[in-house]
């Protein structure tokens, strides 16, 4: 039986009757297996007192058997629907309040709870539930490091082959193939490969109809997934040549990135780090090009706590991993972002990413 | 400006003040661009009367500019949060009722609406909103066909290299690489490569520690994504040898699959098709191995309407695409599934998948 005691304790701490988990990073962590959900409600309910129970789509029962779950299981079939399973669970575990993962649970699942229990108080426990993942174990860090190493090896391969005249889409496809060739189990997210003006879009999509030109900035933001953990790395290169402005912007972003490392040690807050990093950008001639916060936590999810931004006074603690990704974006011109994955240690931090950050010209 | 008139009309038909779209298949269809959302609410609200409005994360504004959206935009920054944007939108478009995509919108987004508008009535409009995608255009079908063709070429490559002694995981990774090599933009879903007893799990995960053996069933359920559309194909092979039972089960599933094609023509219901297919399985000696419905709609999402199951009296209409995927699963022994992607035509249907379905021995 998976150990669900942390979630049980969390229900007590949050003064709710139970915590609900749906397929996603917390579910995988708690149950030890990843599941798909699609159109089918699939929920584990961990009460403050007593045994957990689960609502499981019937066709998943064969895989569910591998979990070793010992609580009551209410399965349901597509043909008859899931309402009865929620009603049976509600009768089995009397709950009046339920903490859910607000960023994972979808509205049709919360509606199914409400239909079965019209007076149920549903609380968004995203911060608390996902917060249990903030401090990484040694095993977590090893998986993260593996995902990062795969990603960096893929990037080495890909930049060696970049040539003027290729489309962004061609380079993106080469990156994806390199990631799998290097051992990725899947992609942490749909990678960003953005040249020229597209690099000024923080979430630019690779274009089929844009050919890379001399002087372009070329931004890669990508990551492999390995053993359930996601890498998230950004490097920005220049193709064949770099303008004085490009160089100056790059140097500014790199200084901000370095300040991020210097500002990071146990006891400071997420606010402090973002403030230190963003202050470098604000003091530069490019302050009007700031579009994003410094970064976010990284682990089973690509974006998770702690969010590294002003106003977030969450304490930074040993074992947290966060992305240090300052950037400057000039619309219709170019953007630069440099992103490292940073592990907080007992007395400071260390980078899990090792790819060089000096301004690099590629595509010769 | 994207044409949102269908969604406006839908709000009227559903007697709600507006329809909300969040990043996902409907959003991409309506706006013409795909966006990520992660921890950031991102919503387009299309009212029954008047112009649409959007809540957009500030860092997405540069990409949002490509959409050509002409309505009011309420952007918000990570540092200050999104509550004010919802309040401003609520003041701009007076809504008392809102249809949302229940299987796409997450609880934290519906909670943000409720915080801004405590009396708002939120209706699950998943069926109606996603229903607008059920009848595929010629362009949709071309993209689906491209995704399917890529997937089939990848499978040809992979089965040629399967050998006894390989792990499921090795074959899965070879499949993923072949998909990208053949032109996939991304994976429609995390592929299933399951041998022996694992093939009896409808959603089995490839194992690192299971080596393929002589006589194993080897099930592939996978698909490429291309131009926003997802393929979804299953073939089950036998490795080097097949038992009499394996052959008999395979023949039964293949007969059920063929009956699915015969039962499909405009005007019948999803119930009728599942009933015809499942009746073949029920009349066989393997009735106790039935675990799933016949299939589901396929398009921008891997699972969408129409769900091909008894009790669903939705009419099957020309232009719909659905998966014909009967299967039989004997726990701890083996499973067989054969899945085609079927386009409903004016007078019947035709398969978009062309990979042979005769029982095939591989791994020699």
What lies within 8 Å, CB to CB, of B95 at 6+ separation is B17, B18, B45, B47, B117, B120
Q: What pLDDT score does A54 carry? A: 98
Number of domains forming the structure of chain B: 2
Same domain, residue pair B294 and B177: yes
Q: Which of the listed residues A131, A153, A182 is the one where a domain comes to its end?
A: A131
Q: φ, ψ for residue A37 (rounded to 5)?
A: -130, -50
Q: What pLDDT score does A170 carry? A: 96
Q: Give the structural domain span for A73.
A: 5-131
Same domain, residue pair A89 and A198: no
Average pLDDT over residues A279-301: 97
Q: What pLDDT score does A246 carry? A: 98
- C-alpha distance from A102 to closest chain B C-alpha (Å): 5
Same domain, residue pair B12 and B50: yes
Buried b (16+ CB within 10 A) or exposed e, B164-187: eebbbbbbbbbbbbbbbbbbbbbb
Contacts of A274 in chain B (CB under 8 A): 79
Tokens of A330: 């000039």
Smallest CA-to-CA distance from A205 within A169, A235, A171 is with: A169
Closest CB to B124: pick one of A111, A173, A205: A111
Q: What pLDDT score does A151 carry? A: 98
CB contact under 8 A, A205 and B33: yes
Same domain, residue pair A118 and A197: no
CB B194 within 8 A of CB B219: yes
- What DSSP string runs through B310-327? TT--PBP-TT-EEEE--E
State how far the alpha carbon of B96 is from the alpha carbons of A19, A227, B91, in Å: 31, 45, 12
Same domain, residue pair B335 and B230: yes
CB contact under 8 A, A36 and B189: yes
Closest CB to A36: pick one of B108, B177, B203: B203
What lies within 8 Å, CB to CB, of A356 at 6+ separation is none
Helix, strand, coil percent content, chain A, rounded in steps of 5 = 35, 25, 40
Contacts of A309 in chain B (CB under 8 A): 78-79
CATH number reported for the structural domain that contains residue B200 in this entry: 3.90.230.10
Contacts of A302 in chain B (CB under 8 A): 38
pTM: 0.95
CATH number reported for the structural domain that contains residue B80 in this entry: 3.40.350.10
Contacts of B292 in chain A (CB under 8 A): 59, 78
* Distance between CA atoms of residues A312 and A137, nearest Å: 24
- Residue of chain A whose alpha carbon sits nearest to that of B295: A78
- Residue of chain A whose alpha carbon sits nearest to that of B310: A79
Mutate to test the interface with B, among A106, A199, A207, A337 (most CBs of B within 10 A): A106
* Distance between CA atoms of residues A270 and B2, nearest Å: 39
* Distance between CA atoms of residues A261 and A279, nearest Å: 14
Average pLDDT over residues B100-122: 98
Does the pLDDT at position A364 exceed 80? no
Does the pLDDT at position B1 exceed 90? no
Contacts of B205 in chain A (CB under 8 A): 33-34, 63
pLDDT band at B153 (very low <50, low <70, confident <90, very high): very high
* Distance between CA atoms of residues A238 and A219, nearest Å: 9
Average pLDDT over residues A45-69: 96
Same domain, residue pair A62 and A194: no
CB contact under 8 A, A302 and B38: yes
- C-alpha distance from A80 to closest chain B C-alpha (Å): 8
CB contact under 8 A, A124 and B107: yes
- Whose tokens are 């029920």? That residue is B282
- Residue of chain A whose alpha carbon sits nearest to that of B270: A79
Same domain, residue pair A154 and A114: no
Smallest CA-to-CA distance from A100 within A17, A39, A4 is with: A17
Q: A64-121: per-residue pLDDT in tens?
A: 999 999 999 999 999 899 999 999 999 999 999 999 999 999 999 999 999 999 999 9
Does the pLDDT at position B278 exceed 80? yes
Same domain, residue pair A17 and A93: yes
Contacts of B310 in chain A (CB under 8 A): 79
Average pLDDT over residues A323-330: 98
**Helix-helix angle B138-161:B168-181, to 10 degrees:** 140
Q: Which of the listed residues A87, A107, A131 is the one where a domain comes to its end?
A: A131
Closest CB to A107: pick one of B124, B180, B293: B124
**Average model confidence (pLDDT) for chain A?**
97
- C-alpha distance from B292 to closest chain A C-alpha (Å): 6
In 10 A of CB B253, how many CB atoms? 27
Q: Which of the listed residues A73, A108, A131 is the one where a domain comes to its end?
A: A131
Contacts of B305 in chain A (CB under 8 A): none
Same domain, residue pair B51 and B191: no
- C-alpha distance from A180 to closest chain B C-alpha (Å): 6
CB contact under 8 A, B202 and A307: no
Average pLDDT over residues A5-12: 98
Contacts of A224 in chain B (CB under 8 A): none
Contacts of A62 in chain B (CB under 8 A): 200-202, 204, 291, 329, 331
Same domain, residue pair B121 and B176: no
Closest CB to B104: pick one of A65, A106, A303: A106
Does the pLDDT at position B364 exceed 80? no
- C-alpha distance from B60 to closest chain A C-alpha (Å): 7
What lies within 8 Å, CB to CB, of A257 at 6+ separation is A277, A324, A325, A326, A338, A339, A340, A357
CB contact under 8 A, B105 and A103: no
Same domain, residue pair B215 and B354: yes
**Average model confidence (pLDDT) for chain B?**
97
CB contact under 8 A, B62 and A331: yes
Q: What pLDDT score does A79 carry? A: 86
> Which residues of B209-360 form beta strands (DSSP E)?
217-222, 224-226, 229-230, 233-239, 295-297, 304-308, 321-324, 327-330, 334-337, 340-344, 349-351
CB contact under 8 A, A173 and B186: no
Same domain, residue pair A176 and A313: yes
- Residue of chain B whose alpha carbon sits nearest to that of A171: B185
Percent of chain A past pLDDT 70, that is, above it, reads 100
């Amino acid at each position: 039986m998976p150990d669900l005691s942390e979630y049980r304790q969390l229900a007590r701490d949050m003064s709710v009757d139970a915590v609900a988990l749906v397929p996603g990073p917390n579910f995988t962590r708690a149950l030890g297996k990843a599941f798909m959900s699609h159109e089918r409600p699939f929920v584990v309910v961990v009460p403050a007192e007593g045994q957990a129970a689960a609502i499981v789509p019937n066709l998943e029962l064969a895989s569910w058997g591998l979990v070793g779950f010992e609580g009551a299981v209410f399965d349901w079939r597509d043909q008859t629907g899931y309402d009865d399973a929620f009603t049976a669970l509600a009768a089995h575990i009397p709950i009046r309040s339920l903490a859910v993962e607000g960023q994972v649970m979808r509205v049709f699942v919360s509606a199914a709870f409400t239909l079965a229990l019209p007076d149920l108080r549903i609380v968004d426990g995203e911060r608390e539930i996902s917060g249990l993942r903030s401090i990484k174990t040694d095993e977590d860090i090893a998986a993260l490091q593996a995902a990062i190493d795969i990603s960096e090896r893929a990037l080495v391969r890909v930049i060696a082959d970049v040539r003027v005249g290729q489309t962004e889409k061609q380079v993106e496809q080469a990156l994806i193939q390199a990631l799998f060739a290097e051992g990725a189990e899947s992609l942490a997210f749909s990678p960003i490969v953005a040249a020229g003006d597209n690099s000024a879009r923080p979430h630019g999509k690779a274009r089929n109809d844009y050919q890379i030109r001399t002087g372009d900035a070329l931004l890669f933001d990508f990551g492999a997934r390995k053993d359930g953990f996601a890498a998230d790395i950004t490097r920005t290169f220049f193709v064949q040549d770099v303008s004085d402005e490009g160089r100056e912007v790059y140097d500014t972003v790199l200084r901000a990135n370095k300040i991020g490392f210097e500002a990071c040690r146990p006891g400071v807050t997420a606010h402090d780090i973002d403030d230190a990093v963003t202050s470098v950008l604000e003091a530069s001639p490019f302050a009007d090009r700031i579009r994003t916060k410094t970064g976010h936590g990284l682990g089973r999810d690509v974006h998770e706590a702690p969010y590294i931004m002003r106003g977030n006074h969450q304490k930074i603690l040993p074992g947290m991993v966060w992305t240090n990704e300052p950037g400057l974006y000039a619309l219709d011109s170019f953007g630069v972002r440099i992103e490292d994955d940073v592990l907080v240690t007992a007395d400071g931090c260390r980078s899990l990413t090792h790819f060089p950050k000096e301004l690099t010209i590629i595509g010769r």
